[in-house]
Amino acid sequence: MEVTLFAEKIFSVGFFPITNTLLTTLITTVVLCSFAIWASKKTSLVPTSRIQLASEIVIENIFSVIENLSDRKRAERFFPIVATFFIFIIVANYLGLLPGFNTIGLNETHDGKLLFVPLFRSVNSDLNVTLALSLISVGMTHYYSISSLGVVDYLKRYFSLNPVNLFVGLLEIVAEFTKILSLSFRLFGNIFAGEALLVTISSLFAFVLPLPFLFLEIIVGFVQAAIFMMLTLVFIVILTDKHTAH
Amino acid sequence: MEILKDFGVQPILLAAQIINFIILLLVLKRFLYKPIIKVLEERKRRIETSINQSEEIQKRFDESAKKQEEILDKAREEAKNIIENAKEESNILSEQIKTENKQSIENAMKRTQDSLELEKQKMVADAHNQIVTMVASLTEKVVPKTLKEADKEKLIQEAIKEIENEN
């Protein structure tokens, strides 16, 4: 049993392939959406439900992080996207640690060979997901940059008549593309490696032995979510900062 | 882009993930972030106002305590003044009463003295008259009836004069 680099297709709806990561993504989305709707019904000024307390702690902490890096007005604007990155990634990562992931699956014959196709696969161990996330991250960064600085100031960052600044601008353009790659591959690499590690250790000896690695993965899951959130936040703050605009 | 294919990146899956994430973002924003942030803001506002109010109340309380103390001090001062004034007035009054009493006693004494004097004078006059009549009658008896009317009169007058001179 081994983990493939790409997410396996379970079945197709018409031409649309349903992979195991797409399935777990949908599960994560449904879990989070139902949590949000449940929480929204119980909000009160004096918090009595634990669900409200928990969401308050998470939201307040993320909000204060954003506010410390920018200001109150920008924090209110960036908060939804930044917080959603963190919450989605950490929930997806922890969901991937549940028993059943990579172990429950179907045996399929593929090109004459018998293959094991797991039904559930950790969401972020699919480059489709992480690439989508980083595209949204970078896309939103530029959207915020344009909307808060204006098109002229936004373009001044990359194009200039001054040859030195023109070269710097060129580097900035390259940096924007490396952002997409680094964000997506960092997250994908970490989670995929963890997945592969857990599967390998479990195939060696499935009792007790994977426990330390599970704890490691718990840390990695949090750290990766935090890194993705912080990087997105920092990029957004830098690109919307009026002082750094040349 | 060969490398992306190795990693199983398919445009349709990528689009599905992006749409999925956007839906999640909208749902969380609508149902989780907005209500919770609203509640947090509202609570913060309430706490701020209640802290301000309690500070205000404390300030007012201090002020009123100070005022109370001032009023008490004033009242004490006034009471002291009133007592002092009353003392002074009572002293003056008693002095007045004393002098008045003295005067009235003096008056009364004077009046009694006066009346006594009058009485005395009256008595003296009475006595004088009585003596005169007595002398007249005596002389009439002693002196012979032959004496002329004019001489009688002259004698009586002399006698009275003598008596008066003796007085």
pLDDT tens-digit series, residues A167-213: 888 999 999 999 999 999 999 999 999 999 999 998 898 889 999 99
Element (H, E) at A140: helix A127-149
Q: What is the pLDDT of residue B4?
A: 80
Model confidence pLDDT, tens digit, residues A5-60: 888 888 888 888 889 899 999 999 999 999 999 988 888 888 888 888 899 999 99
**Domain span including residue B20:** 2-166
Tell me which long-range contacts A158-162 makes (C-beta under 8 A, separation of at least 24). Answer: A160/A246
Nearest CA to A187 among A141, A225, A135, A238?
Answer: A225
Contact criterion met (CB < 8 Å) for A26 and B20: yes
Model confidence pLDDT, tens digit, residues B76-91: 999 999 999 999 999 9
Complex ipTM value: 0.89
Q: How far is it, in rounded angstroms, from Cα B1 to Cα B7? A: 10
Contact criterion met (CB < 8 Å) for B31 and A36: yes
A:74-133 residues touching chain B, CB 8 A cutoff: 76, 79-81, 83-84, 87-88, 126-129, 131-133
Q: What is the pLDDT of residue A245?
A: 45
CB-based contact A121:A7 (threshold 8 Å): yes
Closest-CA residue of A relative to B25 is A84
Tokens of B90: 């009572």
Q: What is the pLDDT of residue A43?
A: 83
* Chain A positions in Cβ-Cβ contact with residue B24 (cut-off 8 Å): 29, 32-33, 84, 88
Residue in the structure block whose two tokens are 């950490």 = A90
CB-based contact B135:B152 (threshold 8 Å): no
Q: How far is it, in rounded angstroms, from Cα A137 to Cα A12? A: 29
Model's pTM, two decimal places?
0.75
Q: What is the pLDDT of residue A17?
A: 87
Q: Say how many domains are in chain B.
A: 1
Alpha-helical segments (H) within chain B: 2-6, 11-28, 34-142, 149-166
A 10 A CB-CB count for B99 gives 10
How does DSSP assign B58-103, residue by residue? HHHHHHHHHHHHHHHHHHHHHHHHHHHHHHHHHHHHHHHHHHHHHH
Mean pLDDT of A228-244: 87
